[in-house]
Amino acid sequence: MIRQDAHRIDPKRRATIDHKKRQFAVPIYKQQDYPHRLNLYDTPPTAEITLEQFEQWAIDRLRILAEIEACSYRNKSPGETDTQITPLLQKYLPLSSNTSSSNGAADLRLRNERQKDHYSHFILRLAFSATEDLRRRFARAETMLFRFRFQKDDSRERRAFIDSLNLDWEPVGEEERNEIAEHLANSTPGLHRVNDETWYKVDWEKVPELVERRSAYMRRGKAYVPGREQLSMIMAEFTARLERSLELTSRALPRLDEDDRLTPILNHLSKNFGSAESVYTESEGHVDGAEIRASSIDSLSQHFPLCMRSLHMNLRKNHHLKHFGRLQYTLFLKGIGLSLEECILFWRQSFKGKTDDEFNSQYKYNIRHAYGDVGGDVNRRGRGYPPYSCQKILGDSNPGIGQTHGCPYRHYSVDNLVGLLQATGVSDKEVLRGVREDVGKQRYHIACNRVFESTHKNEIKKVKEDGTWSQADLDTIVHPNTYFKRSYLLKQLAKAPSRDA
C-alpha cells in the first residue's frame, strides 16, 4: 500500500538516502526464534540455508507427508497411524518440547529442529502450490501432521501456543450463557453441565467439522463452541490459513521460473508426492551379502513385486520380452545388484530362440546402455539409468498389444490382475477384495503394499516381536527395488533363530 503522505518526506531525511547503497545493500532479516513447538507457518523463512539443506529437509518432510497420506488411504486407525508415523517423525523431523531443553546444547538442538520444520514446510509449499490437486493433498496431509503433533503436545505448551495466536474467538459472557443454556445443552453432545465449560463464539465457517456433525449451537452466523472443542477450531484455522497461503504462493510461482537452482528441485519434489520417489537412492536396493547372479534370478523372483514378477513369468514363458519390458526389468535387476556381466548372461540364457549373433547385434547394446557402459551423457556414464520407481512405472502410458511392462495394478483389467495374483499364490479373499477396492480408487501402490503385508505377515510379526525391525523400517513401499529388498531381508530374518532363543 502506498502511503498518502509519502510526498511530505522531510527534505533533510530525503537527502540522507543513498540509492546506490540501498540497491546493493544486503538485507538484514530478523532471525526467527521459535518459542513454541507448534507452528501455524504464518511467517516465511528469511535466513540463508544451503541448497543441500533445501533439498534434504524437503525430502525428509515429504517422507512424512507421503506416509501420512498412505495411512489415510489404507484406512489405518488413529492408533495404527500413530505407530507408523511416530518413529518416522523421530527419525526425519523430530520436534521436541520446551521441557526437553535444559542446557545450551539442547537449546540449539531445539532451535535446529524447529527451523528445519519451519523451512521444510515452506519449501514444500512452493513445490505443491502449482495445481489445485496438489494444493488440496498438501493441505490435507499437513493438517493431519499438525493434528498429530497438537494432540501429542505437552498441555501447558499447547495452552501457551494457543494464547499466542490471538485467535478471533469471542468468549461468551455469563449472562448470555445463562440465557441460551438450554440451547447449548441440547445441541452439544456429551455435555454434562453448561456452566462447567468455557464457551466461545466463532464464525460458523471456522468450525465446519462441528457444524457438519451438528455438534454446536448456531445463532446469527456464530457457532457456540465449548472449550474442549479447541482441537476442531485450531484445525479449521490451520487449514484455512494454509489454503489461503497456498493460493497466494501459486500466484507468485511464475516468478521462480527463472531460478535454475530451485525450479528443478521443486519440480522433482512435486512430481513425487505420494510416492516419495525422491527419497529412493540407488544403493537402497542392494542387499549386502546376497548372492545375486544370473542363475539365482529364478529363485529370487519370489521376492519381486508383481510388476517384475509378471515380466519374469512372461520371459520364462515366451523366451522373449519387448523393448520396454526388457528395459524396466534390466534396470530393476541392476538395482538389486546384478552385475553387467551377469545381466548379459541372464538375458542371453533367457532368449533361447536367438543365436549369439542375433543376441549380440539386437539386444546386448541396450543392456550395456542401461548400465551406463556405453552411450549416455557424461553424467550418466558409468551409472546408466536409475531403476524405475512406482511413480515412473505407474505414470507411463498403457502398454500396447504384446507389451508386458508397466504395473499390473494399474495396467491390467481387474479380473486379469486378480488372476495374476492368484497365480503367484495370493488367495486370501479379504486381500483380493481390498485390492479391487484400492484399484477402483486408483490407489495402485496401496494395493501393492496390501499384498506385500499379507504375503509377509508372519515375517513382519516376527521381526516386530523380537525387535529386529521397528515400524520405521516398514514404511510404505514406493519403489520396486525396495519391495525386493524388504521381502528378501524379511524372509532371511524369519529363518534366523529369534534373538532371545
Q: Per rule CB under 6 A, is residue 488 in the interface with ligand SF4?
A: no
Residue keyed to cell 498441555: 155
Q: Per rule CB under 6 A, is residue 409 in the interface with ligand SF4?
A: yes
**What's the min distance (Å) between Cβ of 395 and ligand SF4?**
10
Closest CA to 69 of 123, 116, 136, 114: 136
Q: Per rule CB under 6 A, is residue 407 in the interface with ligand SF4?
A: yes
**What's the min distance (Å) between Cβ of 387 and ligand SF4?**
11
Q: What is the largest CA-CA distance in the chain?
A: 96
> Distance between CA atoms of 196 and 147, rounded to whole angstroms?
25
What backbone torsions phi and psi does residue 203 show, to the nearest 5 degrees? -55, 135
Q: Which of 224, 480, 488, 489 binds ligand SF4 (CB under 6 A)?
A: 480
Q: Calculate the CA 307 to chain-centre distance.
A: 22
Q: Which of 70, 162, 202, 393 binds ligand SF4 (CB under 6 A)?
A: 393
Q: Per rule CB under 6 A, is residue 483 in the interface with ligand SF4?
A: yes
Write the DSSP assignment of 445-460 as a string of letters.
Answer: HHHHHHHHHHHTHHHH
**What's the min distance (Å) between Cβ of 450 and ligand SF4?**
10
Flag whether 448 is marked binding. yes
Residue keyed to cell 499384498: 451
Q: Per rule CB under 6 A, is residue 58 in the interface with ligand SF4?
A: no
Which of 101/424 has CB closer to ligand SF4? Answer: 424
Q: Per rule CB under 6 A, is residue 305 in the interface with ligand SF4?
A: yes
Flag whether 390 is marked binding. yes
Q: Per rule CB under 6 A, is residue 307 in the interface with ligand SF4?
A: yes
**What's the min distance (Å) between Cβ of 332 and ligand SF4?**
9
**Is 456 in contact with 463 (CB distance < 8 Å)?**
no
Q: Which three cell numbers stand for residue 281?
A: 537412492
Q: Which of 59, 64, 421, 448 binds ligand SF4 (CB under 6 A)?
A: 448
- Of 87-116, binders to ligand SF4 (CB under 6 A) are none
Q: Per rule CB under 6 A, is residue 280 in the interface with ligand SF4?
A: no
**What's the min distance (Å) between Cβ of 318 and ligand SF4?**
20
What backbone torsions phi and psi does residue 200 show, to the nearest 5 degrees? -125, 150
> Distance between CA atoms of 273 and 493, rounded to whole angstroms?
31
**What's the min distance (Å) between Cβ of 210 and ligand SF4?**
38
Write the DSSP assignment of 132-200 as a string of letters.
Answer: HHHHHHHHHHHHHHHHHHHHHS-HHHHHHHHHHT----EEPPHHHHHHTHHHHHHHSTT-S-GGGS-EE
> Distance between CA atoms of 362 and 356, rounded to whole angstroms?
10
CB under 6 A: which stretch of 59-67, 129-137, 300-308, 456-464 binds ligand SF4? 300-308
**What's the min distance (Å) between Cβ of 474 and ligand SF4?**
15
Give the footprint of ligand SF4 on this chain (CB under 6 A). 305-307, 390, 393-394, 407-409, 444-445, 448, 480, 483
Q: Residue ranges for the binding site for [4Fe-4S] cluster? A: 307, 390, 407, 448
